[in-house]
């Protein structure tokens, strides 16, 4: 494969990088230290994303009619890489632009598009994703949060867990069961639920991955109009598959990992600590892991640019991205302890603390490996 960036792509990357150099405030590293789900970073995103929107760097991949610029799949990737390389200043709004917005474009009613897409494109919307439950994580089809039809309303009862951004979100992209548990995937629907609807209670879960990052969300007799439903009852699985494929490609964390690795190696060289053979070997391994993740993601983007649907290649790219994240964090832990105390590069620390859960959030690595075994290596399905 002879891969090289076009001059247009190079110019585009230089423009995004220049914008970030000019516009990211000096206090960004300290704000980012609080973590992507924190009040500090969310408030920052509500200030910074409108600036990105104004400069054309928030939703360039969206259609022009919706505030975008019909940008290419490669420009979208370059934008994501540059954002992640500086610690992802879009915070939780990355979800809006990468998958919630595009999902609403494809499956939303005109009223839903009119209501939700303009604030997203302006950088002024915070959403959360209500999928996981205490007994439904990897096995999402066993979710139990119920939405009972009552005239032209649904009445929701149940509990979601590990919900990122829930305490600050205005709207939840919520998965609910509209039929019996035995009906599995075919009785699940998606509701777009305003988080200030009476009967919703959000409780933060204390955790190692940053204060305010994950929550339990309790729904007790929450009434929402049927018009909050996205698509049809029973269509949720098709919609989520579309959303998750977008989400998995939308997080080029390897761009951050390789930038961090570069900083660490430069520091070790400055301190004359890069001559040891083991240090150099481990740096090489981490760099190779970042490069493998990058090229596997590029394969997906290439497919998307040609109008193809990625399939099992998305699992390969995700597993490689998690491996890259962990290789860099392990290298930092072993050879530059000051990185892990936040004394240097605080803007990256919250994300690297999250590396311990990167293989769990948005689909556990083991599940991705199962999918690779079945669909890529054509091995038989494991016992259930």
Ligand X SMILES: Cc1cc2nc3c(=O)[nH]c(=O)nc-3n(C[C@H](O)[C@H](O)[C@H](O)COP(=O)(O)OP(=O)(O)OC[C@H]3O[C@@H](n4cnc5c(N)ncnc54)[C@H](O)[C@@H]3O)c2cc1C
Using CA atoms of 91, 96, 99, 104 in order, give the dihedral in degrees to the nearest 10: 170
Q: Which of 14, 54, 366, 379 binds ligand X (CB under 6 A)?
A: 366
Question: Which residues, 196 to 215, sit near ligand X by CB under 6 A?
Answer: 209, 213-214
Q: Which residue number, 104 or 322, has a Cβ lying nearer to ligand X? A: 322
Binding mask 211-240 for ligand X (x = CB under 6 A): --xx--------------------------
H-only helix segments in the chain: 7-23, 28-33, 39-55, 73-85, 93-95, 101-107, 110-121, 236-249, 253-270, 277-305, 313-335, 346-353, 365-371
Question: Which residues, 295 to 324, sit near ligand X by CB under 6 A?
Answer: none
Q: Which of 242, 370, 372, 375 binds ligand X (CB under 6 A)?
A: 370
Q: Which of 55, 305, 344, 364 binds ligand X (CB under 6 A)?
A: 364
Q: Which residue number, 109 or 157, has a Cβ lying nearer to ligand X? A: 157
Q: Which residue number, 270 or 381, has a Cβ lying nearer to ligand X? A: 381
Give min distance, CB of 73 to ligand X, in A.
25
Give min distance, CB of 207 to ligand X, in A.
8
Strands 171-177 and 127-130: parallel
Distance between the two ends of the chain, CA-based, in angstroms?
A: 39
Tokens, residue 240: 């989520």
Stretch that binds ligand X, among 126-134, 227-235, 244-252, 339-347 (CB under 6 A): 126-134
Stretch that binds ligand X, among 27-35, 144-152, 319-327, 359-367 (CB under 6 A): 359-367
Q: Is 229 left (phi over 0), alpha (psi -120 to 50) or beta?
A: beta
Q: How many residues bind ligand X (CB under 6 A)?
A: 22
Contact at 8 Å (CB) between 225 and 340?
Answer: no
Alpha-carbon distance values, 135 to 92, 95, 109, 144 (Å): 25, 24, 31, 8
Stretch that binds ligand X, among 1-9, 49-57, 336-344, 364-372 (CB under 6 A): 364-372
Give min distance, CB of 16 to ligand X, in A.
26
Binding mask 127-166 for ligand X (x = CB under 6 A): -xxxxx----xx-----------------------xxx--
Contact at 8 Å (CB) between 149 and 103?
Answer: no
Does 361 bind ligand X (CB under 6 A)? Our answer is yes
Q: Which residue number, 72 or 171, has a Cβ lying nearer to ligand X? A: 171
SS3 116: helix
SS3 302: helix
Using CA atoms of 365, 40, 30, 90 in order, give the dihedral in degrees to the nearest 10: 60
Give the footprint of ligand X on this chain (CB under 6 A).
128-132, 137-138, 162-164, 209, 213-214, 357, 360-364, 366-367, 370
């Amino acid at each position: 494969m002879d891969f090289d960036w076009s001059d247009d792509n190079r110019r585009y990357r230089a423009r995004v990088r220049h914008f970030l150099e000019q516009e990211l405030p000096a206090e960004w590293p300290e704000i980012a230290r609080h973590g992507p789900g924190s009040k500090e970073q969310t408030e920052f995103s509500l200030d910074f994303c409108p600036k990105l929107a104004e400069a054309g760097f928030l939703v360039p991949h969206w259609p022009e009619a919706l505030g975008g610029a019909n940008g290419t799949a490669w420009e979208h990737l370059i934008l994501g890489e540059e954002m992640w390389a500086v610690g992802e200043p879009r915070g939780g709004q990355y979800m809006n632009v990468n998958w919630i917005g595009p999902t609403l474009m494809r499956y939303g009613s005109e009223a839903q598009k009119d209501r939700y897409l303009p604030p997203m494109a302006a950088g002024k919307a915070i959403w959360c994703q209500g999928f996981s439950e205490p007994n439904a994580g990897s096995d999402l089809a066993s979710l139990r949060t119920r939405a009972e039809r009552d005239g032209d309303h649904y009445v929701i009862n149940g509990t979601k867990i590990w919900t990122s951004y829930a305490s600050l979100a205005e709207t939840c992209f919520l998965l609910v069961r509209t039929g019996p548990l035995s009906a599995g995937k075919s009785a699940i629907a998606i509701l777009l639920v305003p988080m200030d609807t009476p009967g919703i209670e959000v409780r933060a879960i204390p955790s190692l991955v940053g204060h305010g990052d994950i929550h339990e969300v309790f729904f007790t007799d929450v009434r929402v109009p049927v018009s909050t439903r996205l698509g049809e009852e029973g269509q949720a699985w098709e919609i989520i598959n579309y959303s998750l494929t977008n989400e998995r490609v939308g997080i080029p964390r390897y761009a951050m990992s390789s930038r961090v690795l570069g900083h660490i190696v430069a520091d070790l060289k400055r301190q004359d600590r890069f001559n040891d053979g083991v240090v150099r070997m481990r740096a090489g391994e981490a760099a190779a892991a970042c490069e493998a993740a990058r090229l596997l993601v590029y394969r997906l983007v290439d497919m998307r640019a040609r109008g193809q649907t990625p399939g099992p290649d998305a699992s390969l790219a995700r597993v490689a991205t998690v491996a890259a994240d962990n290789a860099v964090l392990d290298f930092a832990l072993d050879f530059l302890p000051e990185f892990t105390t936040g004394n240097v590069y605080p803007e990256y620390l919250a994300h690297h603390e999250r590396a311990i859960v990167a293989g769990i959030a948005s689909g556990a690595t083991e599940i991705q490996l199962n999918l690779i075994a079945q669909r890529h290596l054509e091995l038989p399905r494991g016992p259930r």
